[in-house]
C-alpha cells in the first residue's frame, strides 16, 4: 500500500519545496508564551484529541485490508475483460491517504480519507460505483455503505471494521499502476478528466502543505487545535458552506509561514488576529499560482469570470491550483467572520491572563442565536436508505442557502448548522437539520415586509428529488419554526429554554423581528407585535390556547399563484374544503402584547391516500375577529407506506403544530415591530 502519511512520505530526491514570497515575523516565544503553550497542549490531551496506540494500529490494519480489496477488484475486472494472464497478474491498484490522517492531525473516531488509483480501463461510473460497491456490500465487515457519485468529488463512504472510510477513485493513463507511484509528480495528470484531477488533488495538496510549512510539528498541533475550535463553534463543514479539513490546513499553514519561529500557542492567537483583518476576497495562498502545459484551468479571476464570485478564496498549493473553499456563501462567510472576531477576543484575554484556554472552546449556542429557523427533516423507509438519502440531501444543503440569498437579493441571511439531530421518540428512520434566519444586518425592515421563500424551497425540493438512487419512503419536509417552537430533542437532555418574561419598564423598546422564516440573529432581543391602530378599542383579550376563526369558504385557491419567489404578497383565496384556525394569545391588558400566530395545518386523508395540507404562514395586522394579509398554499404529498406510523392526527396538530413529521408548506418571511425583550 502506498500512502501520503507524513513529511517523509515523499522521497528526498523529489522536487525541492516550492518557495514563497511573504513577510516574515521572526520573533520567537517568550517565557509567558512557553507557559501558555504547555497549558494549551495539556488542554488538547485532556480533551481526548489524540488516539490511542491500539486505535492507530487498527487504522493501519484497515488500510491494509482496503488495499487488498481494491487489488482483487482490479484483477477481477482485468480477467473479465479478456486481458492476458500476464496482464491479470500485473494488474494493480494503489491506496493513498490524504486529509487529517495524512497530515497527522486525526483524532479518535475520525474517518480516513483514502484514494484508490487504478488503471485506465477501470472507470469510476460503472466499475467503482457499481461493481466495487456491490463487492463491499456483500462483506460483513463493511457497514453503512453510502455512494455519493454526484458530489463535486465523487466518493464512497463506509465503515470497515468500525473505522469510517471516505474512498475516492482516480483512473490514470497507465495500463499498469506501479506500486511505487509518485502521485506528486504532474505526469499523473496526463490525459485525465477534471473529476479525476480533483480526486488526485487531495493527496497532492497534502504533500505540498507538509513541504511548505517551516515546522511540521508546530503546524500539526496548531491545526489540531483550530479544527477542534471550528467544530465547537459550528463552522467545520465544507459540504454545508463552511470550511473543511483542507481549508483549515491551508489557513493554518499560511500563519506558520508568516510566523516561522512561533510555537502553537502563539500561532493560534496570530491565526485569529490575522484573519479578523483579512480583506476577503483577497486569496490565501501558500505559493505562487503556476501554469502548466497540461492546460488545466487554475484559479485566476482575471481570466475566469466564475472565479470573481468566490467569497473566501483559499487556494491549493499543488497544480492545478484551485479554490478549495468554493462552497462558502455570503451568509456562511459572515458567520465565520463573526467567529474569528470571537476567537480573537478570547485569545487577547488569554494573553492578558484574564481567562483560560477552555474559554476559547466553549460551544456555540446556535439555538439561542436566532429567533427563527428552517427545519429540514429527512425520512426514509429504513436505516440503510436513510444513510444514503441523508448523504445526498446534505451534499445539496448549501444550495438552499444560495437560493435564499439569490431570491431575496441577499436581504435574508442564512446560517446552516452542520449538525444533524434525531428524535429518538419517533419510530421512523429520520434526522433533522436546522438553519438560522435573519434579516441582513444594518437594514431596517418595514412593518409587514415579507420574504416569500416557498417557491425557493419548492425548487430545492425538486432538485433533491432528482436523486438517482431514490427509493420509496425517501422524502424531505421543510418548515419554519420559531425559537420557542424548537423541538426538545435539539437541546441537551431534552431541555428547552423557557420563554423569557417581559418587564413593564421595557414596553416602549422597539426591536425588529424577522418572523416566519427570519430571525434577528441575536439571542439578546425578543419581539412584540405592533398592534394595528384600528384595534385600540378592542377589549382585553384573555389568553386562549385554541380559538378557531373560520374564514369565508366561497372562493378557490390557485396553488400556482403561490409558487413564485416574489417578496410581495400573492393573490390568495380560500377553497371550500379548507379551514384555517387562528390561535390568540395575549395578556389581560389592552396595552399588552397581542399575538395571533396563524399557523394551523389541516390534513384530510382521502380514499386515495393523499393528504391535503393548508398552511397560513403569516398575518400582518389584527382586527376584532379577523386575520389579514395571510400567505396560503396548498400541497399534495403522497404518504409512503413506511411513513404511515408517522402521520399527524388533526388533534395532535393543535397541541404540537410544528412537530417533525408534519407536511409543512414553507415559508413566508415577514418583519414586524416589537416591544418584547428578554427579562
Residue 595 DSSP symbol: E
| 3-class secondary structure, 59 | helix
Contact 2, 10 (CB under 8 A): no
Smallest CA-to-CA distance from 375 within 453, 242, 522, 482 is with: 482
- Tell the burial category of 448 from Cβ atoms under 10 Å away from its Cβ (0-12, 13-18, 19+): middle
Strand order in the sheet with 112-118: 94-98, 112-118, 163-171, 155-160, 142-148
SS (H, E, C) 180-205: CCCCCCHHHHCCCCHHHHHHHHHHHH
- What is the distance between the alpha carbons of residues 280 and 559, in angstroms, rounded to a whole number? 42
Q: Dihedral through CA 282, CA 285, CA 287, CA 290, nearest 10?
A: -70
Consecutive H or E run containing 650: helix 650-655
Task: Give the helix ranges, DSSP H, for 91-215.
Answer: 99-103, 133-137, 194-212
CA distance linking residue 136 with residue 141, whole number of Å = 9
Catalytic residues: 100, 111, 113, 166, 227, 236
Give Cβ neighbours of residue 234 (< 8 Å, ≥ 6 apart): 242, 335, 363, 364, 366, 417, 418, 419
β-bridge mates for residue 664, sequence order: none
DSSP sequence for 508-520:
T--EEEEETT---
User: For the chain, how many residues are written?
Assistant: 679
Amino acid at each position: 500500500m502506498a500512502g501520503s502519511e507524513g513529511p517523509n512520505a515523499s522521497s528526498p530526491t523529489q522536487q525541492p519545496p516550492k518557495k514563497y514570497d511573504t513577510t516574515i515575523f521572526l520573533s520567537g516565544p517568550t517565557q509567558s508564551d512557553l507557559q501558555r503553550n504547555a497549558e494549551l497542549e495539556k488542554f488538547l490531551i485532556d480533551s481526548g484529541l489524540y488516539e490511542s496506540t491500539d486505535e492507530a494500529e487498527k487504522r493501519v490494519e484497515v488500510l491494509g485490508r482496503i488495499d487488498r480489496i481494491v487489488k482483487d477488484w482490479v484483477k477481477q475486472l482485468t480477467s473479465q475483460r479478456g486481458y492476458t494472464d500476464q496482464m491479470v497478474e500485473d494488474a494493480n491498484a494503489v491506496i493513498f491517504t490524504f486529509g487529517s490522517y495524512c497530515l497527522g492531525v486525526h483524532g479518535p473516531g475520525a474517518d480516513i480519507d483514502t484514494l484508490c488509483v487504478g488503471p485506465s480501463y477501470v472507470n469510476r461510473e460503472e466499475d467503482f460505483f457499481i461493481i466495487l460497491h456491490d463487492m463491499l456490500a456483500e462483506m460483513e465487515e463493511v457497514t453503512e455503505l453510502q455512494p455519493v457519485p454526484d458530489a463535486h468529488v465523487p466518493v464512497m463512504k463506509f465503515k470497515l471494521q468500525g473505522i469510517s472510510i471516505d474512498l475516492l477513485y482516480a483512473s490514470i493513463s497507465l495500463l499498469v499502476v506501479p506500486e511505487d507511484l509518485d502521485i506528486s509528480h504532474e505526469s499523473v495528470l496526463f490525459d485525465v478528466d477534471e473529476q479525476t484531477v480533483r480526486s488526485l488533488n487531495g493527496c497532492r495538496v497534502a504533500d505540498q502543505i507538509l513541504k511548505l510549512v517551516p515546522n511540521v510539528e508546530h503546524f500539526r498541533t496548531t491545526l489540531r487545535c483550530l479544527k477542534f475550535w471550528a467544530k465547537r463553534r459550528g463552522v467545520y463543514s465544507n459540504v454545508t458552506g463552511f470550511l473543511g479539513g483542507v481549508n483549515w490546513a491551508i489557513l493554518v499553514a499560511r500563519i506558520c509561514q508568516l510566523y516561522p519561529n512561533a510555537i502553537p500557542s502563539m500561532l493560534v492567537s496570530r491565526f485569529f488576529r490575522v484573519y479578523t483583518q483579512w480583506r476577503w476576497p483577497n486569496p490565501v495562498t501558500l505559493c505562487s499560482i503556476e501554469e502548466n502545459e497540461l492546460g488545466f484551468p487554475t484559479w485566476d479571476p482575471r481570466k475566469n469570470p466564475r472565479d470573481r464570485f468566490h467569497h473566501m478564496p483559499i487556494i491549493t498549493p499543488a497544480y492545478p491550483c484551485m479554490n478549495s473553499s468554493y462552497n462558502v456563501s455570503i451568509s456562511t462567510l459572515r458567520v465565520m467572520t463573526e467567529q474569528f472576531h470571537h476567537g480573537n477576543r478570547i485569545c487577547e484575554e488569554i494573553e492578558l491572563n484574564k481567562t483560560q484556554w477552555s474559554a476559547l472552546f466553549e460551544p456555540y449556542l446556535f439555538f439561542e442565536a436566532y429567533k427563527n429557523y428552517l427545519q429540514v427533516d429527512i425520512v426514509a423507509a429504513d436505516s440503510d436508505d436513510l444513510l444514503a438519502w441523508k448523504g445526498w440531501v446534505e451534499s445539496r444543503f448549501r444550495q438552499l442557502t444560495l437560493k435564499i440569498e439569490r431570491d431575496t437579493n441577499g436581504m435574508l441571511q442564512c446560517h446552516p448548522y452542520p449538525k444533524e439531530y434525531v428524535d429518538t421518540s419517533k419510530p421512523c428512520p429520520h434526522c433533522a437539520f436546522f438553519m438560522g434566519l435573519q434579516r441582513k444586518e444594518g437594514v431596517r425592515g418595514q412593518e409587514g415586509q415579507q420574504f416569500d421563500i416557498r417557491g425557493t424551497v419548492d425548487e430545492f425540493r425538486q432538485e433533491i428529488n432528482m436523486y438517482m438512487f431514490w427509493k420509496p419512503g425517501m422524502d424531505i419536509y421543510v418548515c419554519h419554526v420559531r425559537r420557542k417552537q424548537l423541538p426538545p430533542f435539539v437541546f441537551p437532555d431534552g431541555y428547552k429554554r423557557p420563554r423569557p418574561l417581559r418587564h413593564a419598564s421595557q414596553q416602549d423598546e422597539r426591536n425588529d423581528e424577522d418572523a416566519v422564516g427570519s430571525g434577528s440573529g441575536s439571542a439578546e432581543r425578543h419581539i412584540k407585535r405592533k398592534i394595528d391602530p384600528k384595534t385600540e378599542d378592542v377589549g382585553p383579550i384573555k389568553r386562549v390556547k385554541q380559538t378557531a376563526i373560520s374564514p369565508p369558504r366561497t372562493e378557490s385557491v390557485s396553488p400556482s399563484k403561490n409558487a413564485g419567489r416574489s417578496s410581495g404578497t400573492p393573490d390568495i383565496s380560500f377553497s371550500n374544503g379548507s379551514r384555517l384556525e387562528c390561535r390568540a394569545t395575549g395578556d389581560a391588558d389592552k396595552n399588552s402584547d397581542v399575538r395571533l400566530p396563524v399557523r394551523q395545518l389541516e390534513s384530510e386523508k382521502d380514499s386515495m391516500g393523499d393528504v391535503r395540507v393548508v398552511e397560513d404562514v403569516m398575518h400582518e395586522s389584527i382586527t376584532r375577529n379577523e386575520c389579514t394579509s395571510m400567505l396560503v398554499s396548498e400541497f399534495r404529498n403522497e404518504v409512503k407506506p413506511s411513513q404511515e406510523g408517522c402521520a399527524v392526527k388533526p388533534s395532535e396538530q393543535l397541541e404540537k403544530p410544528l412537530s417533525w413529521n408534519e407536511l409543512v408548506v414553507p415559508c413566508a418571511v415577514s418583519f414586524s415591530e416589537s416591544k418584547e425583550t428578554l427579562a
